[in-house]
Amino acid sequence: MAITNFSDLLSEARLQPDAQRLLFVFTRAELPDNPSAEQRARFEQGEGGVLTPVLCVDKAPEELSDMAALVAESHNTGVEWDIVFVGALSGRGGEEPAADQAEAQLERMVESLKMGNVDAFLALDRQGEAVRIG
């Protein structure tokens, strides 16, 4: 199944035989350091820039209802974001992944995203629609 939105993601995660933790890294579009005039102009038109990780959280699929609820929950943090990257971590033998496993994987995701490696993750906009980065 091709995942094209947040609803697809939840459905697919809930169908997995092993317990899942969904890993979310929220990013904000920003100008790169020392931007050129062209980069600044594109950014002001809503294009380009760099995606900087600003918030991360892990959730069981059962803790999530829809994208609107996730956006509302993130709003309570006071942190603004533009794109959320999603990964998944599987448990074993009916046990969900331990909190320290999820934390370590989130840290790896953040580092990977800082390096510009976005292809391994699902990227969603604030409406829960998959977006292609790059």
Per-residue pLDDT of the chain (134 residues; tens, 9 = 90+): 689 999 999 999 999 999 999 999 999 999 888 888 888 888 888 888 889 999 999 999 999 999 999 999 999 999 999 999 999 999 987 788 888 999 999 999 999 999 989 999 999 999 999 999 86
Return the pLDDT at 6.
Answer: 97
pLDDT score for 35: 87
Predicted TM-score of the model (pTM): 0.91
pLDDT for res 1: 60
Which amino acid belongs to residue 35? P
Written as one string, the DSSP assignment of 57-121 is EEE-GGG---HHHHHHHHHTTT---SEEEEEEEE-BTTBPPPHHHHHHHHHHHHHHHHTT--TTS
